[in-house]
Amino acid sequence: MTIDTLQWWETAVIYQIYPRSFQDSNGDGIGDLPGITSRLPYIAELGVDAIWISPFFKSPQKDFGYDVSDYCDVNPEYGTLKDFDKLLAESHKLGLKVMVDIVPAHCSEEHVWFNESRQSRHNNKADWFHWVEPKSDGSPPTNWLSFFGGPAWSWEPRRQQYYLHNFLSSQPNLNHANPAVREALMDVARFWFDRGVDGFRLDAVHTINADVAPYQNNQANPKFVPGPLPQQQQPFFRQLHDSAQLNQPAIQAFSESFRSVADSYSDRYLMGELHGDDPIKASQTFTAPGRLHATYNFNLLSWDGLNVEGLKKAITKAIDAFNGTGRLSFAFSNHDVPRSATRQLAPLGLTAEQQPALQLLLLKLETCLIGSACIYQGEELALQDSQDIPVELMQDPWGIEFAPVFSGRDTCRTPMVWNRVASNGGFSNANQTWLPVNQDHLHRAGLDEAAREGSVYNEFAAFLKWRKEQPAIMSSNKMSELTGDNKTLVFERIAEQQTLRCTFDFETLTATFEEV
């Protein structure tokens, strides 16, 4: 059967690589670009369409690459630009598109832009960041809070002003009200597009700040309820943010500028990560004509998981807004939340023994929804989340801030394992890896599972091969409303050539497909 496909990104299955934890090639205990290159056949044989590599740029690694000190070079721990070019070429040979993770909202305090800006109120970069006068009592200008704890403002004695940072104080927010900042980031896009990169995942675009003083206070969140969950225990969630701090309308000047660069090349893709008080509304704004191609959807990334009814509501809300388009990218796991194979067990009333079957079902579900899907490294192996990282070995600044009540993001970032009998599971021959290898993962090591008949890896690979032959999925982004009972999700994917009824049973942990 001949299928008229949409643009590649509208139906893509994208494999996310966290480079620090994927494969170490030089024995320092840290994953790197040559390591990724060596594992590309494993990824290609799975049958995905693209890879997304989390930041590998020069960085002091205080937030492990999301604090960039040079957007156009590689952090020495990960290799060189030559190593990246080789990775890119090998990926393209294997039919894989390559997306890299750009951080447009903030950079590192060690970036030359900030080093110059903080020196005085009168220099070439003086207004490249958000510098604001203190209140009359010397306190910060607004009540804004950082995601990682504490105020979103820090004092700079050289300028006698506060600067904005939505994350760590070492991650100052760029001032997108300044056209020179946007142009500098457009140059970053051109640098990577010129090398042959196929697209960008744009980190936390909702945290770009482009408004100018006077800044307004955030409003209180009337739905905030203190509790043990990480989302609730933080002061950050005591406030509503779209009223002032986040998702500012002025951000869209950046979206439009970046899209103009992408459109000047052939077949490039922009996927923006965002959240907010109303993430669907924000997604519609970011993907309006002339802006980003799609947004990275958080509806299925609830930290404590979702039951079937919760899954149905989350998917329905997104589909109602975007049905008939490829402007969504769904994910069940990433480098910021506990792994779905663990996170989803309790809400669905399942046991650890059912974890592999559940993971395969979740993979099939997200790759049958409209738009693209992002698979996080290890999902194809049904890897469980790591629960036992000692506080003294934790690396995530968010987790360290709230330990031991909250274990942070290290639990989903432990090194990939490839062979159960090799040192460190084949990830590295170092005496110590940057995070400890999860010993339970050795039972589902990547190369071992790829060679084992009936593994989640091979079952999912067979499914992706079948998926590529279905016109209802590959030539259309239309689907029916979701139905089913408290144990099942049912919907139809609809194309001119085919209507495919998809049923996902969370009691038997099976998926069935029927042409109707």
Write down the catalytic residue from 10, 63, 77, 203: 203
Q: Is residue 93 part of a domain?
A: yes
One-letter amino acid of 139? S
- In this structure, what are the phi and psi dihedrals at residue 134, rounded to the nearest 5 degrees? -70, 165
Q: Is residue 137 part of a domain?
A: no
Domain assignment present for residue 109? The answer is: no
Q: Is residue 445 part of a domain?
A: yes
Q: Is residue 206 part of a domain?
A: no
Domain that holds residue 370: 8-103+297-473
- Per the residue annotation, which of 273, 385, 396, 410 is the catalytic one? 273
* 198 classed as catalytic: no
- Let me know if 263 is a catalytic residue: no
Number of domains in the chain: 1
In this structure, what CATH number is given to the domain that contains residue 417? Answer: 3.20.20.80
Peptide bond into 60 cis (omega under 30): no
Q: pTM higher than 0.95 for the full model? A: yes
Inside any domain, residue 499? no
In a domain, 406, yes or no: yes
Contact 242, 278 (CB under 8 A): yes
Q: Is the dihedral of CA 271, 277, 280, 286 positive or negative?
A: negative
pLDDT in 10s for each residue of the chain, 516 residues: 556 679 999 999 999 999 999 999 999 999 999 999 999 999 999 999 999 999 999 999 999 999 999 999 999 999 999 999 999 999 999 999 999 999 999 999 999 999 999 999 999 999 999 999 999 999 999 999 999 889 999 999 999 999 999 999 999 999 999 999 999 999 999 999 999 999 999 999 999 999 888 899 999 999 888 776 565 557 888 999 997 999 999 999 999 999 999 999 999 999 999 998 899 999 999 999 999 999 998 889 998 899 999 999 999 999 999 999 999 999 999 999 999 999 999 999 999 999 999 999 999 999 999 999 999 999 999 999 998 899 999 999 999 988 888 889 999 999 999 999 999 999 999 999 999 999 999 999 999 999 999 999 999 999 999 999 999 999 999 999 999 999 999 999 999 999 999 999 999 999 999 999
- Whether 157 is in a domain gets the answer no
